[in-house]
Amino acid sequence: MAEVYKRIDRKLVHKGAIIDYYQDTVQIPNGNVATWDFIMHKGAAAAFPVTEEGKILMVKQYRNALDRFTIEIPAGGLNGADEPTMDAARRELEEETGYVASDMKLLVSVRTTVAFCNEKIDIYLATGLKRTAQHLDEDEFVDVEAYDLEELVELVKNGSIEDAKTVSAIMTYKALYT
């Protein structure tokens, strides 16, 4: 028998620059009513840039939520819910790394935190890289570093890389291309 959940109400608690925070009132299968937090996100895209030499370009940047620097794949939010994710991935790749890719193909899609957020990130394998220039936002300070795949796998294993999109990209690439 299918269990039935019915959203009774959704109230906007706070509208933010990146996310909107709601409280949902939901009738659950036993007939009770529950209040659940919901974060609405417009979506994001990322690139997994691999050079001709097989090096993977990563970005190192400060992340306020963790109060530390992280090593991640280049990524960013969509400019609007209708922006094609490949376009956003191309834009973020060039903005953050200063490279453009002649070839982009979907590597994996991830939902970052399904318990309370609808964020989806499409991650593209970016190859045929050509150097241009970084175009960082006024509040972005990003260093670009090149890694071997096995170095990145080790950084995932030892807990140095915890970012979900980056872990997903590294491990998917390893599974599909090595």
Q: What would the pLDDT profile of 132-174 be if each residue is shown by its tens digit?
A: 999 888 888 999 999 999 999 999 999 999 999 999 999 999 9
Q: What is the DSSP letter of 125?
A: E
Claim to verify: residue 96 and residue 107 sit in the same structural domain: yes
Q: Which residues of 23-55 are buried (b: 16+ CB within 10 A; e: fewer)?
A: eeebeeeeeeeeeeebbebbbbbbbbbbeeeeb
Residue-wise pLDDT for 54-108, tens only, equals: 999 999 999 999 999 999 999 999 998 899 999 999 999 999 999 999 999 999 9
Claim to verify: residue 23 and residue 65 sit in the same structural domain: no
Residue 45 · residue 122 · CB < 8 Å: yes
How far is it, in rounded angstroms, from Cα 102 to Cα 131? Answer: 11
Q: What is the DSSP letter of 74?
A: -
Instruction: Give the domain extent around 132.
Output: 42-177
Claim to verify: residue 65 and residue 117 sit in the same structural domain: yes
Residue 138 annotated as catalytic: yes
Claim to verify: residue 71 and residue 15 sit in the same structural domain: no
State how many domains the chain has.
2
Domain CATH number, residue 68? 3.90.79.10
Claim to verify: residue 63 and residue 150 sit in the same structural domain: yes
Please identify which of the residues 3, 52, 53, 138 carries the catalytic annotation. Answer: 138
Specify burial of residue 141 (Cβ count, 10 A radius: 0-12, 13-18, 19+): exposed
Residue 71 · residue 106 · CB < 8 Å: no
Claim to verify: residue 74 and residue 130 sit in the same structural domain: yes
Claim to verify: residue 16 and residue 83 sit in the same structural domain: no
* pTM (predicted TM-score): 0.93
